[in-house]
Amino acid sequence: MTHWLLRAARWARHPPSAGRVKFVLAIIAFCVLLYAIEHYFGWPDALTPEKALRRGYRP
């Protein structure tokens, strides 16, 4: 826990650049967009892996 407090204190003293903040926010927005698309339209069947049929495999 102390490690995170020290990191937060250092981050407060030396905040990241505006470019890095925009980059992180863009990544978060992209993840939210992917989640929203998957939630409203569902997961495509073509991207669903099929179970491998092996000897002795019983579903």
Question: Which pLDDT band, with edges at 50, 70 and 90, does 8 fall under?
Answer: confident
The per-residue pLDDT for range 21-44, each reduced to its tens digit, is 999 999 999 999 999 998 888 877
Cα separation of 52 and 50, whole Å? 6
Half-sphere exposure of 9 (CA within 13 A, CB side): 6
Helix (H) or strand (E) holding 30: helix 18-41
pTM for the structure as a whole: 0.59
The token duo for 10 is 């250092």
**Contact by Cβ (8 Å): 59, 51:** yes
Ordered by start, the domain boundaries in the chain are 17-42
Nearest to 28 by CA among 20, 17, 38: 20
